Structure 1
Amino acid sequence: MRDRCRALLMERYVPDAARPWAVSRYSADRRETQAALEQAQTMAMLSPVQVVFLENAEAIESLGEKSRDEAVELLTAYLKDPAPFTVLVIEARRLDQRMKWGKLLTEKALVVECGLGENLDERQAAAVALASAMAEEQGVEFERGAAEDLAESVAADLMRLRTEIDKLAMFAAGRKQIRREDVRALVVSEKTTTVWELADMLASRQGRKALEFLDRLLREGEEPLPMLGAVTWMYRKMIEASELRGVTNGWGAARTLAMRPEQAQLALESARRISKARLLAGLSALQRADQRLKGGGEDARAVMEFLVTELTGGEAPAPSR
């Protein structure tokens, strides 16, 4: 979302030819707040307007008291008389309004939250628009209805949306169009509980049942690589869920995990049944399986069966014939 916002700001205010001179980026984490504000007060060459980005502004919170106060004073002085030829963009992962700089920005600047919001319909519509923009950047476009199918399949999860578009764009590069049938073929739908059914089997170490479940999915035509991607995504979500504190239900976890409440609830329940160490070990196993599948030299079913056995801690299955 922030990448997209940056791109739109540059497109709106700075001509292509002038961007090497009229777009600059600084980081508060590298203690460049003063340099950013000095640049904001200096006219850029070859452009009537410049855009100055100050990233990682939350780092101001962790400075020593003297350095933090100096940074806030510099920012206060600038906001009293901002340069008319500069769009100053201050980026932070969070805005703590208990801190001086957080209060200052809330009072003196336009605060924009880069997110899809909590309304499911609005999240879906925004994800569809972003999917179209991401596809355009990859040089492809969606067939009518395909972007909607994709956004629904990944439940408007932006990280997974980008990953799936990268995969679909490569698959559709020859015809420059992503079709609805491509989405159905390559994207394992997050809207179903399939991947979470498997999570329950893995969590309870039901190796035989998980292997039977895997066999059914493969016989029904599920492709190993996108299935592996979905399980990897699931493990990452369970790791995120395991790190949440004071959250007891899916509604409370939905926003932080960027998932629908019912799926967030499943992530919480699964994370409670698998230790953090086991989740991290599982993620490593998934990465190894991904490398083996992409290498192309091994039987895909055998790789997936070995993976399920490793994740459930059971005995290795006999090789598939």
Structure 2
Amino acid sequence: MSGQVYALLGSPALVRNETNRILDKVVPDRDRMILQKMTAEEGEQLLPGAILSFSMFSPNQVFVVRRFEESTPGFLEFLLSYIQGPAKDSDHTLIITGNTFPKKGPTRRLKSALKKQSMLKEFSEKKINPEQYCTKLCTDHNLKLSRNGKSILLQRVGKDLLSLENEIAKLACYSEGTISDKDIEELTATISEASVWDFADAILVKDTGKAIRLLHRMLEEGKAPHQMLGTISWKMRDLLALQESQRKRQSIPSRWMKTPEMKRRAILRTLKKHPLHADKIFSKLQKSNRLFNSARVGDRRILELLVLELCAE
């Protein structure tokens, strides 16, 4: 295995696929691979000493740095110096992954250095047709969907490619035969809604620790930050609509009819004990949406701040 640096940015699904392709290439025998994974925040402390060291017991190592967009200027300076110097003679492989380049630090110089040495690959989901991608994934998994299965799956999962990959992989584990419309609706509902409901419950009872843990889990499972913000907004609106119907002694909103009665009653009890304030909720959601479009901090940090503020409400 010869050393190399790869910077893979953009679509989480396409970045993950390219990362696996590189790992298969540089270390065909995964059992013999010494792999260290870290976030950019952790990498600032861990990577310099590890990647510049040499061990006779593990001369060839692979380092994967995730969430590159959260890198500090100091970490970018180290990466720039490494790429321009030691990387050329190193036996280690460094794979940098993330959504985009950080907004602070020597971003332009680092991007130029990566491009000059053909180390940078950027992946855009805008160029991918979700329907065609769904068809390809089903073929790869030897998965047969019902006549309307693809449409139902795309409606429930959305156009996020990583979420689509994860759902199709789970459906493939469910059955070797044709998957019916009912199977898709039940399985994807269980997969996509269980964590969301637990997350909403944690916010309602002000359990900040649990809410943050669930947020991290859903992000790690492939929910894109913008999609996660949409999910939080949607769930808060649903809860506010239910709360308002009870306050005005009206029938519950139709979208709540499919929720098991026991679950619905439990939510109503919680809302009575911890009522939501619509004006404050919408103000926080709007603030997060603005930060997504303008702030220099990472999307993950914006979501964490939103959860903290909702739990403090």
Question: TM-score when scaled to structure 1?
Answer: 0.47
Q: TM-score, normalised by structure 2?
A: 0.48
Ranked by relative contact order (alpha carbons within 8 Å, sequence separation 6 or more), the top structure is 2
Q: Which protein has the larger Cα radius of gyration, Structure 1 or Structure 2?
A: 1
